[in-house]
Amino acid sequence: MNEIKTTSDLYIRPVTPDDAPALADIYAYYVENTAVSFEYDPPTAEEFRGRIVRTLERYPYLAAVRGERIVGYAYAREFVGRKACEHCVEVSVYVAHDCRRCGAGRALYEEMERALGGMGILNVYASIAYSDSEDEFLTRDSMEFHTRMGYAQCARFHRCGYKFGNWYDLVWVEKMI
């Protein structure tokens, strides 16, 4: 995949393993300051590099770039791990906390869905940390974003993530592309 210009100053391009430090920095904010990720410790750049390499063996991994800065990323990964589910994937998107609501998430998912459709993927799933009441660690932003992108809730696991002294649910959403 080549670079795709989405606006005058934002473009989408494939991630390379050399992008690991920038992506790890974006993700670290969510690990350390929010319940968006259920990880407790942010992965190092080297750990992140390994995640990128493993993902790229089979699935797209995309970066949103503004100027020279990566402002977000999205990737797909295997869903369930069974042959019968090979036309399904799980997707994730993270946007730098100071660049949210700038269109990067939408641009990443739109390009991701195009790429996945070209691979014969039919169903796309995402898991989202969720709570009935927002708090300082978790808002409904991710759920609202996915709803705007055409995803619908298909499952909810109650009190399955414990972080910052609070219990959080995990909601699964799906979209048929």
Task: Note the pLDDT of residue 3.
Answer: 57
Could you tell me if residue 81 is left (phi over 0), alpha (psi between -120 and 50 degrees) or otherwise beta?
left
Give the alpha-carbon dihedral of 34, 38, 41, 43, to 10 degrees.
-100
Across the chain, mean pLDDT equals 95
The pLDDT confidence band at residue 101, using thresholds 50, 70 and 90, is confident
Q: Which residues pair with 14 in a beta bridge?
A: 62
For the residues 152-176, what does the mean pLDDT come to?
98
Residue in 125, 148, 36, 118 with CA at minimum distance from that of residue 78:
125
Non-local (6+) Cβ contacts of 23 within 8 A are 15, 48, 52, 63, 70, 73, 94
Residue in 112, 141, 121, 126 with CA at minimum distance from that of residue 171:
126
Of the chain, the percentage scoring pLDDT greater than 90 comes to 92
Q: pLDDT, tens digit, for every residue of 2-56?
A: 556 555 689 999 999 999 999 999 999 999 999 999 999 999 999 999 999 999 9
Q: Report pTM.
A: 0.93
Q: Where are the beta strands (DSSP E) in 23-122?
A: 61-66, 69-78, 88-95
Task: Note the pLDDT of residue 5.
Answer: 57
Q: pLDDT, tens digit, for every residue of 51-85?
A: 999 999 999 999 999 999 999 999 999 999 899 99
